[in-house]
Amino acid sequence: MVSTGTLHGVGVGPGDPELITLKAMRLISGAPVIAYLAANGRDSTARDIARPYIAATTAHLVIDMPMRVERQPGEAAYDAGASAIAAHLDHGRDVVMLCEGDPFFYGSFMYIFARLAKRYPCRVVPGVTSMTASAAALRRPLSARNEVVKVLPATLPADRLREELQTTESAVIIKVGRHLGKIRNILGLLDLSSRAQVIIKATHEDEVVTPLLDITEDHLPYFATILVYSGTEAW
Amino acid sequence: MVSTGTLHGVGVGPGDPELITLKAMRLISGAPVIAYLAANGRDSTARDIARPYIAATTAHLVIDMPMRVERQPGEAAYDAGASAIAAHLDHGRDVVMLCEGDPFFYGSFMYIFARLAKRYPCRVVPGVTSMTASAAALRRPLSARNEVVKVLPATLPADRLREELQTTESAVIIKVGRHLGKIRNILGLLDLSSRAQVIIKATHEDEVVTPLLDITEDHLPYFATILVYSGTEAW
């Protein structure tokens, strides 16, 4: 009888492969099996980030996620992924699941974790988030002293977004995508447009930073982030 | 004539030396000069975290911070630190400033950055924050889908804290220290006490996780964090 393997949810950071932690690198390079979500069975940013550290002998468990724009993939895909991981764990093989950014900060790992954490040993390795990577890209501190930071998914209703943006010193608006028009309206109403910066692919080779007022498009990529600084620049 | 050196603000992560990034390790181990704040000239958590990666030949620039509990050190200390760093940069020596967590997320680096970024090349390397490290320690996702996360310094007035806590799915309350009584009252009023967990020194060897309701003390360490989950556990 073999003892069961351990599932590791490992943050690989925001994009630059050098922004992976030593712990993540050690676990990835020694993993008998790595798992990751792949949109439509193909694309995986997490795998691309981790690529330099994946051994040639490591087995890849690709969790096929039939993605539609801004829709959560179906429960069935997570069920299938969790079962495939469990089969390895049952045979005593550790599985390292690669997660963009941090596994527990708006990550898909939690859906696998929810299915397996009660039955198998699970460990979570935090990673650098795109939130602070975006602040570094902007060369502007996110928060100081007793300032509030809010992380606001652009998918929220306009009323809620307006209320939250009205009462914060800094905001990180994530998942902007096709909600750009809504966000632009709200920031305009609050007179914050000139204080908003758009960051696309922070720390990737093709990182782009643009003031919101210079954006002419109606849409942004799903993973675009807008940082809004409404505080008094106390620093 | 020598060209000036570069100032690197480098996040060393939340505590576990293995949660430092490869980029931070490379910069630290190759640095001619490392700089860090030291409370009363002595204690530096950032240096302790980075210790395995500091070469024996590296010069240490200790920025003496006369700390009183929960008070920002004086401007004079930052002025002196920035001048000492500038002297190295003027001689063409790069300086790596070590920062707990992430340099731009409630870090002291921003006060040095504000003094030097216009005169010298400066780069910022993001790090793993205690925020996501705390979620990993709790084994509970911080946020999913369209949930809001708020980072709330416990130093804020009670009214503001109550309002913000009332209207969020997750909250990360930082700098708890002697404000524990205030936080406890507010969470009690909002019926959130049972949803609050205290994390001290996430990912350090002496990490402690305790439900708020099990805490009997009137104070917590300054760097204690409270995570509050008021959402509906959508994940």
Question: Which string of b and e fits A12-21 if b means at least 16 CB within 10 Å?
Answer: bbbbbbbbbb
Query: In this complex, which of A21, A146, A203 lies closest to B153 when CB atoms are compared?
Result: A146
pLDDT at B71 over 80: no
CB A182 within 8 Å of CB A160: no
Q: Check CB contact under 8 Å for A164 and B142.
A: no
pTM: 0.95
pLDDT level of residue B234 (50, 70, 90 thresholds): very low
Q: Which residues from A are below 8 Å from B165, CB to CB?
A: none
- Select from A7, A53, A142 the residue whose CB has the most chain B CBs within 10 Å, as the one to mutate to test that interface: A142
| A72 at B interface, C-beta within 8 A | yes
Residue B183: phi, psi to the nearest 5?
-65, -45
CATH 3.40.1010.10 fits B7-125, yes or no: yes
Q: Check CB contact under 8 Å for B21 and A26.
A: no
Q: For residue B232, what pLDDT is reported?
A: 56
Query: In this complex, which of A110, A133, A147 lies closest to B126 when CB atoms are compared?
Result: A133
pLDDT at A231 over 90: no
**Residue B176 C-alpha, separation from nearest chain A C-alpha, in angstroms:** 12
- What is the C-alpha separation between A68 and A177, in angstroms, rounded? 13
Q: Do the domains A7-125 and A130-229 sit in the same CATH topology, yes or no? A: no
- Chain centroid offset of residue B196 CA: 20
Q: Which residues from B are below 8 Å from A156, CB to CB?
A: 146, 148
| A73 at B interface, C-beta within 8 A | no
- What is the C-alpha separation between B169 and B118, in angstroms, rounded? 39
State the DSSP code for B2: P
Tokens 């699970």 appear where? A122
Domains of chain A, residue spans? 7-125, 130-229
Fold of A130-229: 3.30.950
Q: Which residue of B has its CA nearest to A124?
A: B136
| B139 at A interface, C-beta within 8 A | yes
Task: Tally C-beta pairs within 8 A across A and B.
Answer: 177
Q: Check CB contact under 8 Å for A156 and B163.
A: no
Q: What is the mean pLDDT of residues A6-11?
A: 98
Q: For residue A68, what pLDDT is reported?
A: 62
| A58 at B interface, C-beta within 8 A | no
Q: Check CB contact under 8 Å for B235 and A19.
A: no
CB A61 within 8 Å of CB A84: yes
Closest Cα partner for A136 from A16, A10, A11? A16
pLDDT level of residue B68 (50, 70, 90 thresholds): low
- What is the C-alpha separation between A39 and A73, in angstroms, rounded? 9
- Select from B112, B120, B128 the residue whose CB has the most chain A CBs within 10 Å, as the one to mutate to test that interface: B128
**More confident: B227 or B65:** B227
Q: What percent of chain A has pLDDT over 90?
A: 86
Q: Which residues from B are below 8 Å from A125, CB to CB?
A: 19, 136
Strands A225-229 and A196-200: antiparallel
Q: Which residues from B are below 8 Å from A128, CB to CB?
A: 11, 21, 102, 126-128
Q: What is the mean pLDDT of residues B101-107?
A: 95
Beta strands in A76-126 (DSSP E): 95-99, 122-125
Q: Check CB contact under 8 Å for B132 and A19.
A: no
Q: For residue A1, what pLDDT is reported?
A: 65
| B141 at A interface, C-beta within 8 A | yes
pLDDT at A34 over 60: yes
Q: For residue A234, what pLDDT is reported?
A: 46
pLDDT at B69 over 60: no
| A51 at B interface, C-beta within 8 A | no
Query: How do residues B161-204 score in pLDDT, each as one tens digit?
Result: 999 999 999 999 999 999 999 999 999 999 999 999 999 999 99
Q: For residue B41, what pLDDT is reported?
A: 74
Kindly state the greatest CA–CA separation across chain B. Answer: 65
pLDDT at B233 over 80: no
Q: For residue A216, what pLDDT is reported?
A: 94
Residue A193 burial (CB count, 10 A): 17
pLDDT level of residue B75 (50, 70, 90 thresholds): confident
- What is the C-alpha separation between A26 and A134, in angstroms, rounded? 26
Query: How do residues A168-217 score in pLDDT, each as one tens digit?
Result: 999 999 999 999 999 999 999 999 999 999 999 999 999 999 999 999 99
| B203 at A interface, C-beta within 8 A | yes
**Residue B196 C-alpha, separation from nearest chain A C-alpha, in angstroms:** 17
| A147 at B interface, C-beta within 8 A | yes
- What is the C-alpha separation between A191 and A181, in angstroms, rounded? 15
Q: For residue A235, what pLDDT is reported?
A: 44
| B26 at A interface, C-beta within 8 A | yes
Tokens for A171, please give them.
């905001």
Question: Residue B49: enclosing H or E segment and its boundaries?
Answer: helix B45-50
State the DSSP code for A20: S
Q: Which residues from B are below 8 Å from A103, CB to CB?
A: 136, 141
**More confident: B150 or B64:** B150
Q: For residue B40, what pLDDT is reported?
A: 77
- What is the C-alpha separation between B50 and B13, in angstroms, rounded? 9
**Residue A123 C-alpha, separation from nearest chain B C-alpha, in angstroms:** 8
pLDDT level of residue B72 (50, 70, 90 thresholds): low
Q: What is the mean pLDDT of residues B138-146?
A: 92
Query: In this complex, which of B72, B125, B132 lies closest to A126 when CB atoms are compared?
Result: B132
CA atoms lying within 13 Å on the CB side of residue B117: 16
**More confident: A167 or A1:** A167
Q: How far is CA A165 from CA A62, A85, B5, B15, B177, in A?
A: 38, 40, 39, 32, 28
Query: How do residues A63-90 score in pLDDT, each as one tens digit?
Result: 998 866 545 557 889 999 999 999 999 9
What angle (nearest 5°) sits at the alpha carbon of residue B229, between those of residues B223 and B231? Answer: 155
Q: For residue B58, what pLDDT is reported?
A: 98
pLDDT level of residue B39 (50, 70, 90 thresholds): confident
Q: For residue B73, what pLDDT is reported?
A: 59
Query: How do residues A96-153 score in pLDDT, each as one tens digit?
Result: 999 999 999 999 999 999 999 999 999 999 999 999 999 999 999 999 889 999 999 9
CB B38 within 8 Å of CB B63: yes
Q: Which residue of B has its CA nearest to A151?
A: B149
Q: Considering only A35-44, A69-78, A139-148, B211-220, which range has the smallest mean pLDDT?
A: A69-78
